[in-house]
Amino acid sequence: MLMLIDTPDPRYRSEPDQPREPWSRRHPTARVRLPFILAVICMLAAYVVNSSLLIFGLSMVSMMLFFDAILALLPTGDGLWSHRQ
């Protein structure tokens, strides 16, 4: 009767899943590329739109994304930001 119970053998268990790498490690250049692409899209949309308020808003968003991408190029960690004298 006890032989009918199907108990898994611990020797044949699968290995535990490895934790996934963070998205920023898998796609290191996306932090710079995505804001540049979105900035270009906003500039093109501002060129097509006729409303002056939308043109201003899209231009400001485009500039913000552009500078965000430029600031993402600066070194972090043991680079410029952590230097202390």
Task: Spell out the domain ranges in the chain.
Answer: 29-74
pLDDT at residue 84, rounded to an integer: 57
CA–CA separation, 70 and 85 (whole Å): 26
pLDDT at residue 38, rounded to an integer: 95
Tokens standing for 67? 């500078």
CA–CA separation, 85 and 83 (whole Å): 7
Name the DSSP class of 9. Answer: -
**pTM for this entry:** 0.64
Per-residue pLDDT of the chain (85 residues; tens, 9 = 90+): 555 566 777 777 676 667 777 776 777 788 889 999 999 999 999 999 999 999 999 999 999 999 999 988 887 666 555 555 5
Tell me the three state secondary structure of residue 55. Answer: helix
